[in-house]
Structure 1
Amino acid sequence: MDVLASLLDGPRARGAFLLRSVMDPPWSLRIQDRAPLTLVAMLRGGAWIVPDDGDTVRLAPGDVAIIRGPGAYTVADDPATPPQVVIHPGQRCTTPDGEPLAQAMDLGVRTWGNSPDGATTLLTGTYQMRGEISERLLRALPTLLTLPAGSWDSPLIPLLAGEIGRDEPGQEAVLDRMLDLLLIAALRAWFSRPEARPPAWYRAHGDPVVGRALRMLHNNPAHPWTVATLAAETGVSRAALARRFTELVGEPPMTYLTGWRLALAADLLRETDATVGAVARQTGYGSSFALSTAFKRVRGVSPHEHRGARSRRTIAD
């Protein structure tokens, strides 16, 4: 597993909100769903994305935009068109005055809009991510990034467009996987652009020594890694590995491993019912005491307190 793949494992779609919108102008959608990550792909016509903070961007057919939440933004036929629809958390849609609109604008299977033959069609995929690993990915992204159709080559948008209207057994799983593939392809294309300023861990992946070390740490975090064992596996001296890793990643190998293990542990505590001892074994700590000590030292709370805080937040949401 490479570094990007392991980080993308956090935002993997599981019943993600996926919708085809068909609109005739004038139209304007106010998005305040607080979603951590949203992907918009233009199929036909054009649209403007107007963030509350940041530059306005126009999308043409084939363009893709990725929006990092939770800030609000507007998607419209024209930046001057006032919002007619407000999308709230949970994908509840209303008029600006609060009147429900979901049934009034239903156009069929995963299709919504103000006209079945509208001049503009766009796909929207919304991820609900709350994990520690996902945060590492989100911090690497700008609030809004766009990929013009001519800047990358992907057959995934028309494939996803062809699948979204189907209502067959297992269709949700098919759409989730296709949305994941589109997100991965888009992020990979974005990170390869000179203006993207990819994070250090992504750039380091291309180094023959540090990239191999990162893959080993990500593939097997429970292994009792040391700088010496990593150096032996990568074919360089301990000093050379430590120096090169720190220069490219921005922190020493064992510091990076500790952060990765604790991020994994935090997500396992949130997403599973595994005991603290079981989580400790999966993340390279010999006992629940060892994990608790490291967790509290770095994060300021115990694993049990972290799990309880997450549970209370879920109930509140």
Structure 2
Amino acid sequence: MDALTDLLDGPRARGAFLLRATLTPPWSMRIQDEAPLTLVAMVRDEAWIVPDGGEPVRVRPGDMVICRGPDPYTVADDPSTKPQIVIHPGQRCTTPDGTSLSEAMDLGVRAWGDDPDGPSAMLVGTYQMRGAVTRRLLSALPPLAVVRGDTWRSPLVGLLGEEIGRDEPGQEVVLDRLLDLLLIATLRAWFARPEAERPGWYRAHGDPVVGPALRLLHADPAHPWTVAGLAARVGVSRAALAQRFGRLVGEPPMAYLTGLRLAQAADLLRESDATLDAVARRVGYGNAFALSTAFKRERGISPQEYRTGPVPVA
């Protein structure tokens, strides 16, 4: 298991919000749903995405966009078009003065907009859950990541477009998994760009020493790893691994492992009913007390407070 796989294998899409939007210019949507991550595939016509405090970005057919929340942004046919629609948490849709647009914009099964034949068309998938493992990924992304259509090709956009309007048994699961696949493909294309500022763990994945070490840690974080034991498994000295790992990843191997364990623990606390002792053993801590001590030192709150409290902003 590599680091990117592990990051996406925890809080996968579950009941993600997906739709096909068709609109006729002029149109403008203010997105303030506080979702941690939204994926937009421009299918037809062009659009502009305007981050708060950032420069407008033009999006053309074939482009993929990853919008990192929770900060609001605007999607419009033109940067000068004033918002006519506001998307709130829970995907509630209103006019700027608060009048509901839910019925007016409903065009059928996962179809939404002001005109079913509108020239502007896009597929939208929103991850509404914030999880600790996902937070590690989000920290590696800018607020807006655009993969241009002329730099990559994927059949997943067309497949998602075909499936998004179907209403069949198990359709929600099909769409969740397609969204996951499309996100992974888009992330790989984003990080593969020559000019990409890749996070350390992503760059290190291709290293002949640190890459295998990362895969070992992600495959079995509960193992009682030591730097010496990890070095022996990858066939180098302890000093060589420590030096190379720190240089490429940006932190020592055991510090990276601690962050990985606590991120997975946080995800399990949110996504399962497992006891604290069970969570502790699953991620490599001997008991609940040891996990609680490390968790509170890292996050400032206890595991129980994290489990029952408000969902933290990514």
Tell me the TM-score normalized by structure 2: 0.96
Structure 2 residue 211 is the aligned partner of structure 1 residue 211: yes
Counterpart Cα distance in 1 of 2:129 and 2:191: 21
Q: 1:252-292 CA deviation, whole Å, 9 max, x = no partner?
A: 11111111111111221222221111111101111222222
What's 2:75 paired with?
Answer: 75
- Whether contact under 8 Å (1:10, 1:129) holds in the other structure is no
Task: List aligned pairs for 1:1-317, cutoff 5 A.
Answer: 1-307=1-307, 311-313=308-310
1:237 maps to a residue whose letter is S
1:86 maps to a residue whose letter is V
1:313 maps to a residue whose letter is P
2:208 maps to a residue whose letter is P
- Whether contact under 8 Å (1:33, 1:87) holds in the other structure is yes
Counterpart Cα distance in 1 of 2:300 and 2:145: 34
- Whether contact under 8 Å (1:36, 1:68) holds in the other structure is yes
CA RMSD in angstroms, aligned pairs only? 1.2
Using the TM superposition, give the Cα deviation of residue 200 of structure 1 relative to its aligned residue in structure 2, in angstroms.
Answer: 0.3
Counterpart Cα distance in 2 of 1:94 and 1:142: 28
Counterpart Cα distance in 1 of 2:156 and 2:206: 25
Give the 3-state SS of the residue equivalent to 2:157 in structure 1. helix
Moved more, 265-274 or 82-91: 265-274
- Whether contact under 8 Å (2:10, 2:264) holds in the other structure is no
- Whether contact under 8 Å (2:35, 2:126) holds in the other structure is yes
Using the TM superposition, give the Cα deviation of residue 51 of structure 1 relative to its aligned residue in structure 2, in angstroms.
Answer: 1.2
- Whether contact under 8 Å (1:11, 1:128) holds in the other structure is no
- Whether contact under 8 Å (2:11, 2:267) holds in the other structure is no
Counterpart Cα distance in 1 of 2:29 and 2:302: 42
Using the TM superposition, give the Cα deviation of residue 11 of structure 1 relative to its aligned residue in structure 2, in angstroms.
Answer: 4.4
2:88 maps to a residue whose letter is H
- Whether contact under 8 Å (1:269, 1:303) holds in the other structure is yes
- Whether contact under 8 Å (2:35, 2:70) holds in the other structure is yes
Counterpart Cα distance in 2 of 1:295 and 1:85: 41
Unaligned runs of 5+ in 1: none
Counterpart Cα distance in 2 of 1:158 and 1:166: 14
Using the TM superposition, give the Cα deviation of residue 199 of structure 1 relative to its aligned residue in structure 2, in angstroms.
Answer: 0.3
Counterpart Cα distance in 1 of 2:292 and 2:105: 50
Using the TM superposition, give the Cα deviation of residue 305 of structure 1 relative to its aligned residue in structure 2, in angstroms.
Answer: 3.0
Counterpart Cα distance in 2 of 1:196 and 1:129: 26
- Whether contact under 8 Å (1:11, 1:127) holds in the other structure is no
Unaligned runs of 5+ in 2: none
Counterpart Cα distance in 1 of 2:295 and 2:70: 27
Give the 3-state SS of the residue equivalent to 2:67 in structure 1. strand
> Aligned in 2, Cα 1:93/1:313: closer, same or farther, shift over 3 Å?
same
Counterpart Cα distance in 2 of 1:78 and 1:45: 12
Tell me the TM-score normalized by structure 1: 0.95
Using the TM superposition, give the Cα deviation of residue 123 of structure 1 relative to its aligned residue in structure 2, in angstroms.
Answer: 0.6
Give the 3-state SS of the residue equivalent to 1:256 in structure 2. helix
Q: 1:83-126 CA deviation, whole Å, 9 max, x = no partner?
A: 11110010000111111111111111100111111111101111
Give the 3-state SS of the residue equivalent to 1:222 in structure 2. coil
Corresponding residue pairs, total = 311
Counterpart Cα distance in 2 of 1:267 and 1:174: 23
Q: 1:28-85 CA deviation, whole Å, 9 max, x = no partner?
A: 1111111111111011111111111211111111111111111111111111111111
